[in-house]
Amino acid sequence: MANILSARVLCRCAYILLTILITDAKSNVVFQPSYLVTSGPRLSAFLLGNTSGISLTLSSLSLSNPSEDLTQWVLTQELVGKTTVRVQLNLNRSLLLCGNNNDTDCCPEPLCVLETLHVSACLGNTPQASLLIQARIYAQVFPTEPVSDNKTVIPNQVYRPLGSCPCDLTVGACDVRCCCDKDCSPEALKLFQGQCLSGPFGGEISPVPDYLCIAQSAENAPDWFPFLCVISLPENNPFLGLFYEGDTITPKPRPSFQRPVLSAPLPTHIYQQGDPIFTISDHYFTIPQNSLVGQCVDNAPVAFLKNFQAQCVTRLLSCPTGPPLQTTPTELRVQVRDGQGGVVTVDVTDKMAVDLRPFVASPVAEDGILLCENVTLALDYKFFWKGNGLTNITLTRILGNVLSASVGLTARYSVAFLNGDALAQPNSGNPGYQVGRPVIGGIVDTLENGTVIQRTPVNLWKPVSSGLCASEGKIVIFGENSTAGCLLPVSLQNLTQCSLLSQNVASLQRALSTATHIARNGDPDVLNLTDWLNISFVELNSNQPVGGGIGICSGIPSHRHIHVRSIVTEVVGGLPQREIQAVEVSDHVSTWKFECGGGDPCLEPTGIQTFPVTSSITFTDISINTGPPKTRFQINFTEYDCDRNDVCWPQLAFPLTRYYTGESYSLSLAKGLILVFFFITASILGTPWKQIRQAWRSASL
């Protein structure tokens, strides 16, 4: 029977894939994304294109559930635009783990749902687009006692220390060398059982007293210790904590008849944030920097973990002969102390500047002016650090040939400290994207042992000082809508070949960003294709005419727009974790017309005119909040909202309820009744009741 089901499912999958390949060229609609992996009971996708008359069907491809009628998901659709339909799937079953009761609507195993779904968009009986979904959902386990997100129970420090395991830094994960972490399995503890963190940070809140016999080993025990030590249980400990009554405990030297053991000498230079970096000859490691008054200092020391960018303008009257404008690789390969007792050498890479406009104000040739070769235009340092030391230093030196005219030469210097090693690539969040981090793009690279995604940035146009297009683009930042452009010089002769001009501009737009995939999260795995999304490119209409007359070309793809749709999946440490759901890239055409002064026709084919080339990006958040809207009272009177304020007046009597666990219920009730008694007594003996009694006596007399 299992073989028959497997054959049916394989035939069904083959039919679906064949249908997708056949109808892909004819389809006017497309799912974005076309493949989803979900671990929750709700998911959504978008159907883009001409959706009129499109019907959706849902089927299951699992071995145990190969029928359309037996699926446990509910399919809904919502029209959110003229050409956009939001498709939502909701799991129509409970995710509670089965207990001792006889309830049938529960999960018998921790892995509750393991199913492959197929959503088809059909026009009549003809399939137009398909969406494949892999669902892997685990059962939910809820606490037995009521909890609140805005309440923290702080125990009495005399009986129970606050933070019994300070090295437990990651929620729901095992921290390496933290042996008191409850999230560590016994198998994980065996990996670092002999390297556990010691002291209060490692969970030893109550250290063993020095006078106990088990506190001293044979290596560090004094000669007289075995005769005077105390045998007692470790639980009988008078230690009240390092911060009890604000005292600081300092160890006292004890007499011994043994020879003292000399410890190994510490490194001479241990770097901390802000400390200057030293070379192997104990001199400061210096780079030209801007001073407080705006001038440049050629020999300014570099501080540890302090990034900076500097620009130094020099009036170039003759060719430079020494640093910092004339340097050699040997001078730049400096040996630097790494802060751990070792030495790292600066790795130098040379590049030639093609465009001198960012560095030279007026590169115009004149008679009698010499050409200065290999002038150092920029020095870009990257310091890779770990802990209190350096692991590697790389330097990119940009050279250029500059005319020795009386012009301003702008040399650029930068220092960036990166955590890790030289091969590590920084992420944009963990696990989801963080606003302000770069968007991670990728290119598929097929190797012998599998498919790997090579990271590549997603760029927008970046102009130089004269407004022309730079060779390097501006990196796209997640969550920041941006529009950038530059000027492209075009001659009148180029406007006579409109098709070739349109192809060249389209090639420039494609070369700006070569990424074909986008990372879903901020820390993608280059070996896992499910962490990446295919970028959907909207093709232009090839039948549109590109000519328009003398000096006029229409249909030029001068603008490229990137649309990113993201969703907030969870909140970790108060920070929302965003995941990209779909990316669409589209080109927009415009008409370029060569114009001359006075409106006269231009007859000179070598005439040059600049035209704008632009690019933009838009981020759209997909809202999943289905709760009721807030009332006017909740919006205006926020001081009564317990989730926003530390003082919660609606819960003034919270200590008298069963949810209060700071002390026993009987003790809190007794204290509450005593407070009520004092309040009634003060009210009776107070001034208002005294005035009432005096008025009563006056009326009776």
Mean pLDDT of 496-524: 87
DSSP state of 653: T
Average pLDDT, the chain: 77
Residues 6+ apart with CB under 8 A from 547: 498, 499, 553, 554
In this structure, is the dihedral angle defined by the CA atoms of residues 304, 306, 308 and 313, taken in order, positive or negative? negative
Residues 6+ apart with CB under 8 A from 17: none
pLDDT given for residue 2 in this prediction: 40
Question: CA 55, CA 248: separation in Å to the nearest integer?
Answer: 73
Question: CA 135, CA 194: separation in Å to the nearest integer?
Answer: 40
694 — pLDDT class (breaks 50, 70, 90):
confident
Place of tokens 């927009």: 588
pLDDT given for residue 267 in this prediction: 42
pLDDT given for residue 563 in this prediction: 93
83, 200, 93: which is closest to 563 by C-alpha?
A: 83
Mean pLDDT of 524-532: 85
Summarised one tens digit per residue, pLDDT across range 642-687 is: 666 666 766 777 777 777 777 777 888 888 888 888 888 877 777 7
Summarised one tens digit per residue, pLDDT across range 175-223 is: 888 888 888 888 888 888 778 887 767 776 666 777 778 776 655 677 7
Q: Is the pLDDT of residue 361 over 80?
A: no
pLDDT given for residue 219 in this prediction: 58
Summarised one tens digit per residue, pLDDT across range 592-630 is: 888 765 544 455 666 788 889 999 999 998 876 656 666
Q: Is 29 helix (H, G, I), strand (E, B) or coil?
A: strand
Residue by residue, DSSP assigns 540-609 as P-TTS--B-STTEEEEEEEEEEEEEEEEEEEEETTEEEEEEEEEEEEEEEEEEE---GGGPPP--TT-EE
pLDDT given for residue 256 in this prediction: 59
The torsion angles phi and psi of 63, rounded to 5 degrees, stand at -65, -40
In this structure, are strands 84-91 and 111-123 parallel, antiparallel, or unpaired?
unpaired
| Token output for 394 | 């790389």
585 — pLDDT class (breaks 50, 70, 90):
very high
642, 663, 659, 656: which is closest to 147 by C-alpha?
A: 659
Exposed, middle or buried, 495 (CB in 10 Å: 0-12/13-18/19+)?
buried
Please state whether 566 falls in left (phi above 0), alpha (psi between -120 and 50) or beta: beta
DSSP state of 462: -
pLDDT given for residue 583 in this prediction: 92
Q: Is the pLDDT of residue 292 over 80?
A: no
Mean pLDDT of 298-320: 84
Q: 531 near 587, Cβ under 8 Å?
A: no
91, 90, 92, 94: which is closest to 105 by C-alpha?
A: 94
pLDDT given for residue 293 in this prediction: 64
pLDDT given for residue 245 in this prediction: 45
DSSP state of 655: G
68 — pLDDT class (breaks 50, 70, 90):
very low
DSSP state of 313: E
Which residues does residue 309 pair with via DSSP β-bridges, in sequence order?
414
Element (H, E) at 376: strand 371-386
Q: 120 near 71, Cβ under 8 Å?
A: no
Summarised one tens digit per residue, pLDDT across range 373-385 is: 888 888 999 898 8
Burial 183-206 (b: 16+ CB within 10 A, else e): ebeeeeeeebeeeebeebebbebb
Measured torsion, CA atoms of residues 228, 232, 235, 239, in degrees rounded to the nearest 10? -20
Place of tokens 């001479």: 268
**How far is CA 183 from each of CA 31, 165, 177, 179, 195, rounded to the nearest angstrom?**
39, 11, 12, 10, 17
Residue by residue, DSSP assigns 31-71 as EESSEEEE-SSEEEEEEEE--TTEEEEEEE-BTTB-SSTT-
494 — pLDDT class (breaks 50, 70, 90):
confident
448 — pLDDT class (breaks 50, 70, 90):
low
Entry pTM = 0.40
Summarised one tens digit per residue, pLDDT across range 553-572 is: 888 888 999 999 998 888 87
Q: Is the peptide bond before 431 cis (omega within 30 degrees of 0)?
A: yes
32, 81, 215, 77: which is closest to 585 by C-alpha?
A: 32
Q: 15 near 61, Cβ under 8 Å?
A: no
